[in-house]
Chain A
Amino acid sequence: DTGVSQNPRHKITKRGQNVTFRCDPISEHNRLYWYRQTLGQGPEFLTYFQNEAQLEKSRLLSDRFSAERPKGSFSTLEIQRTEQGDSAMYLCASSLGDRVGATQYFGPGTRLLVL
């Protein structure tokens, strides 16, 4: 257990439905990241927050995706109008960021299956 928690752990939904995932980072960590991992591949960066500010979004993050970190603590990732191609593991990580780089601690992930 890294100290980063994600809920739910699994989500099955029908195409077209909206889903929301939650990530609770390690409490003193100022940075929070979202990654997506498809079967047999490494994780791919989606977006990150420094405190409550969303500072970068990948091109992978289409308009159907939105992420928030309202008080600089937990974060939510919402996918609207889900598509089968959204099926993946969504991973959250947190770190105590600095200029040199810091270890990112990952949560257990939310596995999404879109039928």
Chain B
Amino acid sequence: SQQGEEDPQALSIQEGENATMNCSYKTSINNLQWYRQNSGRGLVHLILIRSNEREKHSGRLRVTLDTSKKSSSLLITASRAADTASYFCATDAGAAGNKLTFGGGTRVLVKP
């Protein structure tokens, strides 16, 4: 079963605009990760934020984590057409093996 719910399910923006997507989860976590998936391909790891961190940046990506609300957000600034993809949050609840539980994803379309 999927732990996370992502919002919105789909997002369409113009190149240069910012894209924000949210992820909510149900159980306590060790860390939360964001992945990108281009159509029909494998997942690319974007960023990992640990449960004791509140904000993290990587290039044009900004991730926040609010463990009290069990939610995270991913902001992509100055979007490009190449950012068109599906974005998934995945939680690591710290169980043996650190298996990931994924949300349903947000499909982002960046129009040139």
Q: Which residues of A contact B (CB under 8 A)?
A: 2, 4, 6, 31, 33, 35, 40-45, 48, 50, 55-56, 89, 91, 93, 95, 97, 100-109, 111
Contacts and interface: CB of A to CB of B under 8 A. Distances in A.
B30 A100 contact: yes
Contact of A50 (B30, B94, B97): B97
A101 B97 contact: no
B99 A56 contact: yes
13 contacts: A33-B97, A43-B88, A44-B1, A91-B42, A93-B43, A101-B30, A101-B31, A101-B92, A101-B98, A103-B45, A104-B33, A108-B41, A109-B42
B105 to A, nearest CB: 5
Interface of B: 1-2, 4, 30-31, 33, 35, 40-45, 48, 50, 88, 90, 92, 94, 96-105
Nearest to A102: B98
Contacts of B94: 101
Nearest to A60: B1
Contacts of A97: 97-98
A111 B44 CA distance: 17
Nearest to A31: B97
Contact of A106 (B4, B44, B92): B44
A106 B2 contact: no
Contact of B99 (A40, A48, A108, A111): A48
